[in-house]
Chain A
Amino acid sequence: MTESIVVESLSKRYELGALQHETQLRDQLVHFLRAPFRRRAPKETLWALRDVSFTVEEGEVLGIIGRNGAGKSTLLKILSKITYPTSGRVRARGRVAALLEVGAGFHEELTGRENIFLNGSIMGMKKKEVDAKLEAIVEFAGMQRFIDTPIKHYSSGMRSRLGFAVAAHLEPDVLIVDEVLAVGDAVFQKKCISAMHDMRGGGRTVLFVSHNMAAVENLCSRGMWIANGRIQLDGPVHEVIEAYMGSFASADSAFSELTAAEGRRGTGEIRFTRVEFLSTDRDLQTVTRCGKSLVIRLHYRASEPIERPAFALRLYTELGTLVTDTGTWLHGLDIPLVPVGDGYLDLEIDSLNLLPGRYYFSLKLDSCLETRVYDALEHAVHLDIEEAPIYGSSRRIDSRYGLVFFPQRWHLDGIGSGAAIDVSPAESLK
């Protein structure tokens, strides 16, 4: 494999002072007149990137993730030569195309066709190339009808479609994409992802920045997590995403103390004290993603021996719809006696087939012998379920698509010859 991009100890410093003050000559003059011989106070600086080094092989698709302000955009801007590093250097092989904003340089007054030529040329296409690809670009954008209309009459979705259509026909050796999939409708997102897939197939190097973890996970083989201007983690995309998501949920979202919970009912001889979310290895699990396993550990404290109690747990959506009810009684489990003191029990779920979102638990401890409630907590604990590529596609699947999903397969053999085998997103549109 040959190296496509080599980044050597890249650093970028911004002078905050220069950005905020003294951009008017007047301010500098005033400053000079007030204290002509005094040295300027050192400007406040910000290191947007600090000593970043990495190599990307040809044909590799690298997903760059990180919070806002972590330095991702600065890195992309340096890689695309828009801005220069304070120190360090970048070497890139071949034509680099950066899509930091879809349709950058579009002019409102010009028509779609005119903007294709303008944008294509600024992005590095020769006029001959644009001439040759014009038809394909217009078709990709799906706007044959409006191509001679000034784009000031376009919707923002149409603009981004046109912009991506131009970019998709650049045929660069290195493509740098920043969050373009956040715009556009579902059908167009599908097209973009498919176009990027084609690029991966074509041996192109792709650097992809996105907050859509499902898209990153599906498109990229390698992930890089940037935090505070440094590379926090660089490795297989799954590991990097897990670690990144883990950083969001602080450790205390993995358990909830219930001893001081308000609004609880029950007689109180035995009470829930704490709920923990664990992995199957019984480690605290700070991030729960849909389709993954989960262990819910219910801690309790009994102030006197309890005969034949029943532990129950109900799961609700954020809007209060009951998703499921489970408990030791429903499972036919008999607990003859709970001795005085602390203890816990685990509920292990193999595959949490819930779509991403926030869910609430209600807990209940009652007696199998008499109608007596020892402890009851409504919506006491919440659980955030994060998105994952559920169906193995990069489509973002969230609460709009329902509540649950099932392990499933589509079989297309019945459609007829040709169409049945591996329908790529772009094909299925036609």
Chain B
Amino acid sequence: MGQWVSEIWHSREILYFLAWRDVKVRYKQAALGVAWAVLQPLFTMITFAFFFGKLAGIPSDGVPYPLFSYSALLLWTYFAVTLSQVGNSLVANSSLITKIYFPRVLLPAAAAFGGLLDLVVSSVFLIGMLLYYHVTPRWTMLLTPIFVGQTVLLVMGAGMLLAAMNVRYRDVKYTIPFLTQIGLFVTPIIYPVGFLPQRFQGWLALNPMTGVIQGFRACLFGAGSVDWEVLGCSWIVTLLLLLIGSWHFRSTERVFADLV
């Protein structure tokens, strides 16, 4: 493991160039360019605010519903979009894998880091929304990067597992969008955790993104103060996924070039 980490550290420039390539290629021929990073969560938020916030009247812990849903969508969009890119990163780069040697884990890692640019751009929009709704600045806002970091770890953990499985079973490719679609509803994005009946709330905590989004909102709005049990559970699942993901990746990466 130590050797693995040191090899990755030595090839960090490759990681940078691969992530740079992904970002560059993504917006190369798109007229709106990086604006897409904002448009996607923005329109989802508008739709949600209309149907769920206005028509269905779903509560939002005292925070304006658009802000409530956008703050969650910010992280969720990164999670869902990037997870699918990380999961496909090996198969999509099969011509590289079969022709050049470099630490294979750089491919999922590059996809995970490449997605952060979008997150940064859509965060700028979030800051604008915070100002618009006159949210009182609080020191806990400085803690939000922790939750971004946890999302990256989560994407890497689940992503390495999925990417390695995808090399052998292409079914994974079709499973990821399906999973993230369900995830949108079993994560407190549209609704606060308290909206669910008590007996379901425990199950929701098993979803690591529940803790992430709850913690993220708590840091921003101080609303629905932090549930340490949910947060702890979320971190345990995240680290467990990271461990399983890297273990599975490590044990299968030798045959990638033969199977991909």
- A residues neighboring B (CB under 8 Å): 14, 18-19, 23-26, 77, 80-84, 98, 100-101, 104-105, 107, 109-110, 114, 117-118, 121-124, 126-127, 150
Which residues, 1 to 39 on B, are CB-close (under 8 Å) to A? 13-14, 16-18, 20-21, 24-25, 28-29
- Can you list 14 A-B contacts (CB < 8 A)? A19-B258, A77-B98, A77-B257, A80-B101, A82-B257, A84-B255, A100-B100, A105-B96, A109-B25, A110-B25, A114-B21, A118-B21, A121-B14, A121-B16
Q: Are A122 and B170 closer than 8 Å at their CB atoms?
A: no
Would you give the 0/1 interface string for B142-164, flagging 1 where the beta carbon is closer than 8 Å to chain A? 00000000000000000000000
Assembly CA distance A101 to B94 (angstroms): 13
Assembly CA distance A117 to B14 (angstroms): 10
Assembly CA distance A18 to B257 (angstroms): 13
Q: B254 at interface (Cβ–Cβ under 8 A)?
A: yes
Given contacts A25-B169, A84-B254, A104-B95, whether A122 and B28 have CB atoms under 8 Å apart is no
Q: Are B17 and A82 closer than 8 Å at their CB atoms?
A: no
Given contacts A24-B170, A83-B257, whether A109 and B28 have CB atoms under 8 Å apart is yes
Given contacts A23-B169, A109-B29, whether A81 and B13 have CB atoms under 8 Å apart is no
Q: Which residues of B contact A124 (CB under 8 A)?
A: 102
**Cβ-closest chain A residue relative to B254:** A84
**Cβ-closest chain A residue relative to B172:** A25
Closest chain B CB from A178 CB (angstroms): 10
Q: Which residues of B contact A117 (CB under 8 A)?
A: 17
Partner of A122 from B14, B20, B29, B254 at Cβ < 8 Å = B14
Q: Are B169 and A24 closer than 8 Å at their CB atoms?
A: yes
Known: A105-B95, A122-B18, A150-B28. 20 other contacts (CB 8 A): A23-B168, A25-B171, A26-B171, A77-B98, A81-B101, A82-B98, A82-B100, A82-B101, A82-B257, A83-B255, A83-B258, A84-B255, A105-B99, A105-B100, A110-B21, A121-B17, A122-B14, A122-B100, A126-B13, A127-B13
Q: Which residues of A contact B17 (CB under 8 A)?
A: 117-118, 121-122
Q: Which residues of A contact B24 (CB under 8 A)?
A: 109-110, 114
Q: Which residues of B contact A122 (CB under 8 A)?
A: 14, 17-18, 96, 100, 102
Closest chain A CB from B53 CB (angstroms): 39
Partner of A23 from B14, B98, B99, B170 at Cβ < 8 Å = B170
Closest chain A CB from B52 CB (angstroms): 35
Q: Are B169 and A100 closer than 8 Å at their CB atoms?
A: no
Q: Are B99 and A104 closer than 8 Å at their CB atoms?
A: yes
Q: B131 at interface (Cβ–Cβ under 8 A)?
A: no
Q: Are B257 and A100 closer than 8 Å at their CB atoms?
A: no
Closest chain A CB from B89 CB (angstroms): 14
Which residues, 95 to 111 on B, are CB-close (under 8 Å) to A? 95-102
Q: B259 at interface (Cβ–Cβ under 8 A)?
A: yes
Partner of B258 from A14, A26, A107 at Cβ < 8 Å = A14
- 6 A-B pairs with least C-beta separation: A104-B99, A81-B101, A121-B17, A84-B254, A83-B257, A25-B169
Which residue among A82, A104, A117, A127 has the maximum number of chain B CB atoms within 10 Å of its CB?
Answer: A82
Assembly CA distance A114 to B23 (angstroms): 13
Q: Which residues of B contact A77 (CB under 8 A)?
A: 98, 257
Assembly CA distance A179 to B189 (angstroms): 55
Assembly CA distance A360 to B169 (angstroms): 56
Assembly CA distance A14 to B259 (angstroms): 10
Closest chain B CB from A413 CB (angstroms): 47
Q: Are B258 and A100 closer than 8 Å at their CB atoms?
A: no
Assembly CA distance A124 to B13 (angstroms): 9
Q: Are B21 and A107 closer than 8 Å at their CB atoms?
A: yes
